[in-house]
Amino acid sequence: MERALIVSGSEKGIDAVAQLLKNAGYSQITAINSGSEARRLIDTTEYEIIIINTPVSDEFGHELAVMMSESSTAGIILICRAEIADDVSDKVGEFGVCVVSKPLNRSVFHQSLKLVQATRARMLGLKRENVKLLTKIDELRLINRAKCALMEYLKLTEPQAHRYIEKQAMDSRQTRKEVAMNILSRYER
């Protein structure tokens, strides 16, 4: 289920963007007209895509786009007047915000939407990989602490401590992490 948030200062803009999103397969579309309301919503709901049609009722919208890019995993499209699109793009581009100029061209909007979706999917994949790597690093730190405890209390060398943890893990059908936790609970108090 694809969730989309539209932030626009005009009802006409909301209707136009909502229709484009419905045509692209988004089923849950939330539309609001102020940046402050959008900031409250982003804390409670995860969106796949956020469209900001500038200006919104209480601000221009580029700062809102930057804030949302830093605090969510949503793909963000900022729609602004053609005369200022390049300047706005320079301000928000480094934060992964896609800028589309008005008047909206259906095919350009659709291409931008696909690009943002692809970028978001890639970013989520990298985020998952990062979580795996951080978990692995934590596990290695735990195992190294257990090796240090074995070296200190049982006077083993580092290769002997490593072998001890490996053997315990194989013999007891536990992970090296579980063995390390058992060792640490025994020797670190």
pLDDT tens digits for 126-165? 999 999 999 999 999 999 999 999 999 999 999 999 999 9
Reduced to 3 states (helix: H, G, I; strand: E, B; else coil), residue 101 is: strand
As a whole number of angstroms, the distance between CA 94 and CA 87 comes to: 13
What mean pLDDT, rounded, does the chain reach? 94
Q: What residue spans define the domains of the chain?
A: 3-104, 130-187
pLDDT reported for residue 157: 95
What is the dotted CATH code of the domain comprising 130-187? 1.10.10.10
How far is residue 111 CA from its own chain's centroid? 22
Do the first three CATH levels of 3-104 and 130-187 match, i.e. the same topology? no
CATH 3.40.50.2300 given to domain 3-104:
yes
pLDDT reported for residue 144: 96
Query: Taking 70 as the threshold, does the pLDDT of residue 1 lie above it?
Result: no
Residue 143 near residue 165, CB atoms below 8 Å: yes
Mean of pLDDT values over 3-31: 93
pLDDT above 70 as % of the chain = 99
Query: Taking 80 as the threshold, does the pLDDT of residue 89 lie above it?
Result: yes
pTM over 0.85? The answer is no
